């Protein structure tokens, strides 16, 4: 099979490429990248690429699968279809399924199910292996045994409250050489809060979660990391103070990377005045000051990557008062166009910067070779039309869930095709 993309805008953070070019794909391999390709197979499928962007596939650090256990929310098939529709060629699944991904059999089952769905343009699925049994934070899993499986690394996707356990985990996992991901959150300080504490929570009348619920736990985690020297990825950073702690830790040479969710860059507590339950997240949306600090941190590289943290729920689960709704929202199909419109079209970030934090840097955080568009390499890329408008309706989303604050809104920008060979 031959495919020729003519006069596309070619983006690639690995080679720092941003140019207009023709690209030829032969049997899933990039065989030519030139200003103009005149000699190509007569049977090639031709894409007229003027105004379109061809770039490496996106990499999601962490999202949730409904299957197994909560198929009414989302199946693995619909999750993969949503990821492909959003331009993601690799997704890492958190282990909080039912049963949890805490032993070899459950991980093997997930791989088998993903392989049943695998066709060209469907992403590679890798599970995070659970740190603790049933992701309850009480007893360790068989870490050495799990390390032999095809996993993204080790994470619970839930905060660990026992610091002695955290220290032991970091000591045990260090020689295994797998990525480790932790979430800094003190559940006692969270209390019954449902949004970030501050003037907005007072005016809106919802119980607040203080910023120190993140920063107190983050300070303790950083101490454990410094004591053990074990590399860790810090997920779901959501506060300005959290950004500052990470900045200083990196300046001290601690072996850390960090990510924030895409919605924390686009929204803040002021939007919760609508009481839209799809804005209830965990960690909660930050204040405008938090949002600004996160945007700056991503731009400066203090925050290494943007994660989607796609979390599906049914209509019935989310159609309740804000404080009673389970936290989380979907995002695999929406993140790229909304981030592009907010940061690239506004001139705040370059296109290369956005692609770096959605593709190259997440792969590096996972200790993987980043996707790139280079001659001789398998095609792992997407074609994106930044000007195309589409309506985000439940029937137009590939995800079987529709819990997003952008439901029924016009979205500018859409992925036309995703390749992964």
Q: What CATH number did the domain enclosing 231 receive?
A: 3.20.20.140
CA distance 194 to 400: 26
Beta-bridge mates of residue 415? 384
Distances 192 to 180, 195, 199, 213 between C-alpha atoms, Å: 29, 10, 17, 12
Q: Which residues contact 156 (CB under 8 A, 6 or more apart)?
A: 95, 96, 130, 131, 132, 135, 137, 183
pLDDT at 118 over 70: no
pLDDT at 266 over 80: yes
Mean per-residue pLDDT over the chain, rounded: 97
Residue 207 lies in a domain: yes
CA distance 229 to 349: 33
Neighbours of 167 (CB within 10 A): 16
Name the 3-class secondary structure at 4: strand
CA distance 254 to 164: 19
Residue 383 lies in a domain: no
Name the 3-class secondary structure at 415: strand
For the chain, give the percent of residues with pLDDT over 90. Answer: 98
Residue 295 lies in a domain: yes
pLDDT at 114 over 80: yes
Residue 63 lies in a domain: yes
pLDDT of residue 119: 57
Residue 256 lies in a domain: yes
> Do 120 and 419 touch, CB atoms closer than 8 A?
yes
Question: Which tokens hold the place of 94?
Answer: 């958190």
Distance of CA 135 to the CA centre of its chain: 20
Instruction: Compute, in degrees rounded to 10, the torsion defined by CA atoms 299, 303, 304, 307.
Output: -100
Mean pLDDT, residues 295-304 taken together: 98
Q: What does the DSSP 8-state code read for residue 29?
A: E
- Position of tokens 């839930």? 158
Residue 122 lies in a domain: yes
Confidence of residue 414 (pLDDT cuts 50, 70, 90): very high
pLDDT of residue 105: 97
CA distance 306 to 259: 5
- Buried b / exposed e over 12-40, threshold 16 CB at 10 Å, is bbbeebbeebbbbbbeeebbebeeebeeb
CA pseudo-torsion sign 194, 200, 201, 205: negative
Predicted confidence (pLDDT) per residue in 315-370, tens digit = 999 999 999 999 999 999 999 999 999 999 999 999 999 999 999 999 999 999 99
CA distance 249 to 255: 9
Confidence of residue 117 (pLDDT cuts 50, 70, 90): confident
Phi, psi of 71 (to 5 degrees): -60, -20
> Do 232 and 255 touch, CB atoms closer than 8 A?
yes
Query: Which burial class, exposed, middle or buried, applies to 327 when counting CB atoms under 10 A from its CB (0-12, 13-18, 19+)?
Result: middle
Mean pLDDT, residues 120-129 taken together: 85
What domain range is 318 assigned to?
A: 58-371
Phi, psi of 191 (to 5 degrees): 60, -135
Residue 111: which H helix or E strand, with range? helix 104-117
Distances 180 to 61, 94, 153, 189, 225 between C-alpha atoms, Å: 12, 12, 6, 24, 11
CA distance 77 to 361: 26
Phi, psi of 405 (to 5 degrees): -70, -10
Residue 108: which H helix or E strand, with range? helix 104-117
pLDDT of residue 58: 98
pLDDT at 417 over 80: yes
pLDDT at 85 over 60: yes
Q: Which of 150, 309, 385, 408 is catalytic?
A: 309
pLDDT at 116 over 90: no
CA distance 277 to 185: 21
pLDDT of residue 237: 98
Residue 183 lies in a domain: yes
Residue 124 lies in a domain: yes
Provide the domain count of the chain.
Answer: 1
Instruction: Compute, in degrees rounded to 10, the torsion defined by CA atoms 71, 263, 133, 227.
Output: 170
Respond yes or no: is residue 12 known to be catalytic. Answer: no
Predicted confidence (pLDDT) per residue in 15-71, tens digit = 999 999 999 999 999 999 999 999 999 999 999 999 999 999 999 999 999 999 999
């Amino acid at each position: 099979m031959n495919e020729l993309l003519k006069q596309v805008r070619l983006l690639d953070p690995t080679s720092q490429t941003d140019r207009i070019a023709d690209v030829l794909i032969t049997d899933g391999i990039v065989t030519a990248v030139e200003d103009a390709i005149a000699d190509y197979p007569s049977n090639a499928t031709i894409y007229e690429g003027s105004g379109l962007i061809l770039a490496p596939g996106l990499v999601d650090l962490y999202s949730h699968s409904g299957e197994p256990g909560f198929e009414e929310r989302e199946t693995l098939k619909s999750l993969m279809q949503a990821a492909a529709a959003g331009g993601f060629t690799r997704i890492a699944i958190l282990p909080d399924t039912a049963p949890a991904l805490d032993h070899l059999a459950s991980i093997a089952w997930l791989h088998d199910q993903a392989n049943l769905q695998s066709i060209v343009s469907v992403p590679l699925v890798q599970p995070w292996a659970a740190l603790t049994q049933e992701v309850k934070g009480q007893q360790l899993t068989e870490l050495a045994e799990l390390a032999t499986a095809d996993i993204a690394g080790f994470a619970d996707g839930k905060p660990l409250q026992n610091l002695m356990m955290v220290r032991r985990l970091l000591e045990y996992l260090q020689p295994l050489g797998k990525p480790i991901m932790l979430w800094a959150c003190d559940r006692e300080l969270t209390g019954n809060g449902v949004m970030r504490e501050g003037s907005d929570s007072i005016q809106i009348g919802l119980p607040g979660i203080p910023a120190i619920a993140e920063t107190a736990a983050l300070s303790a985690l950083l101490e454990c990391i410094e004591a053990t020297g074990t590399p860790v990825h810090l997920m779901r950073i959501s506060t300005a103070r959290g950004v500052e702690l990470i900045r200083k830790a990196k300046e001290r040479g601690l072996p850390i990377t960090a990510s924030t969710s895409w919605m924390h860059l686009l929204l803040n507590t002021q939007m919760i005045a609508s009481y839209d339950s799809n804005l209830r997240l965990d960690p909660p949306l930050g204040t405008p000051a938090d949002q600004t600090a996160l945007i700056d941190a991503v731009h400066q590289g203090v925050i290494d990557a943007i994660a989607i943290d796609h979390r599906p729920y049914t209509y019935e689960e989310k159609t309740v008062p804000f404080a009673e709704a389970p936290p989380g929202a979907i995002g695999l199909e929406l993140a790229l166009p909304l981030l592009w419109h907010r940061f690239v079209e506004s001139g705040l970030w370059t296109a290369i910067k956005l692609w770096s934090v959605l593709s190259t840097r997440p792969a590096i955080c996972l200790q993987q070779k980043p996707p790139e568009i280079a001659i001789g390499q398998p095609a792992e890329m997407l074609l994106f039309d930044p000007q195309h408008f589409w309506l985000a309706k439940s029937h137009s989303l590939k995800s079987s869930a529709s819990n997003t604050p952008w439901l029924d809104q016009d979205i500018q920008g859409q992925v036309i095709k995703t390749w992964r060979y």
